[in-house]
Amino acid sequence: MLELRPSEFHRVASLFDDLPYGPNIPNSVIAGIGRGRVFANDPARPTAALVYKNGACTLAGAADVRKTRLGGPRS
């Protein structure tokens, strides 16, 4: 997964819409209200994403293992 820039956070918003336990933490980060980090399997067309905020991680979507990459921030 690659870390998204804050201007790209909106690309993963729909992945967190139907969470059964409430999307408050990930959506606050995605909306820019809360501080955190967002990672996606494909920055242009994400199908899986992880939102990290103060030790809490929320994973949503589905990923094709062959397409999911591990990595840090993009340059």
How many domains does the chain divide into?
A: 1
Percent of the chain residues past pLDDT 70, beyond the cut: 77
User: What's the domain range around 25?
Assistant: 2-60
User: Is the CB of residue 27 less than 8 Å from the CB of residue 68?
Assistant: no
Is residue 49 domain-resident?
yes
Is residue 11 domain-resident?
yes
Is residue 68 domain-resident?
no
Is residue 12 domain-resident?
yes
What amino acid occupies position 51? V
Q: Which residues contact 4 (CB under 8 A, 6 or more apart)?
A: 11, 12, 38, 39, 40, 43
Closest CA to 6 of 39, 41, 50: 39
**pLDDT for the residue numbered 62:** 86
Q: Convert the pLDDT of each residue in 31-63 to its tens digit.
A: 999 899 999 999 999 999 999 998 889 999 986
Is residue 65 domain-resident?
no
Q: What angle do CA 27, 63, 1 make, to 5 degrees?
A: 70
The mean predicted confidence, pLDDT, of the chain is: 84
Is residue 39 domain-resident?
yes
- Quote the pTM value: 0.79
**pLDDT for the residue numbered 39:** 97
Is residue 29 domain-resident?
yes
